Chains A and B, each alone.
Chain A
Amino acid sequence: MPMTRVLVVSVCAAALFFAPGCSRPKPVVAPEVPVAPQEETAPEPIPATGGTAQVEPEPTIAPAQVPEAGIEGGELPTDLAELNKAGFLKNAFFDTNKADLRDDARDALAANAAWLKTHPTVRISIEGHCDERNTGEFNLALGWRRANSTKAYLVSLGIGAERISTISYGEEKPFSTCHEERCWSENRRAHVVIVGR
């Protein structure tokens, strides 16, 4: 096993003094101790210091329950899925590690606000997304910030806050999956989804 060999070699290098096991093996020369005549030796008695322990089985793992599905989950109704595919609402894109809105994001959201004003019953969810850079936990918080700064801007343009819900998916639901900037810039977005009409 190559790994073991590397391990042993590096120990030798680091601690030559302390690791007699690293020098070349030599045949053992028995020290000159008078050897007692052959006799049947009983095993040496075991000192009682350590005591006795009964080994128990380790606990086993049970599958976690599956709670009933939440109301927020699940697929959109077909007509809403079609409506979202039609692309009436635009995404807002962000700079790396930023949650404040760029000019292009403000333009996109202004157009969204205009459309929402002409469709006053439509309700939306804003999903905050991140690229795969940074840790998953930090990106969850960053996506939350992006979703909410997007919501705040739409509210400032006159859209009722009660029509807008927000959620962060962090880096968990990327739109593009390559590991370079052209995908990362796609994934740093607030994604606007129609959830009611």
Chain B
Amino acid sequence: MEIKIPKDLLYTEDHEWARKENGEIAEGITDFAQSELQDIVYIELPEAGQEVAQGDSIATIEAVKTVTDLYAAVSGKIVKVNRELEKNPELINKDPYDSGWIVKIKISDPAELDTLLMPAEYKKVIQEE
């Protein structure tokens, strides 16, 4: 199966993606991550309004293969949470980069974006796994 790595996104080594949108990022897990996890059963989401630091665990994803945490790709304030996932967690499997987004974070330190991986760098990360 071909793993999708959209060119317009940034990535983390923990298989999160981030899309820049007017001082915020939308964040989710990558196509590689969802295919490794297999069917997602349930996601424990954070509350909007919460302040988080880069690397903090902000959600827990329970899937057939294993359970995993979602880490904040940047520091900031969680401004939106995709509540649709509580009813339909399979959106993450089916559409990880779009309707399967998980949180939106208002960026507090734009310099942190430079610490994220470019698509080509992320591709290397998954080739090594």
Partners in one complex: no
* Interface of B toward A, CB cutoff 8 Å: none
Q: Which residues of A contact B (CB under 8 A)?
A: none
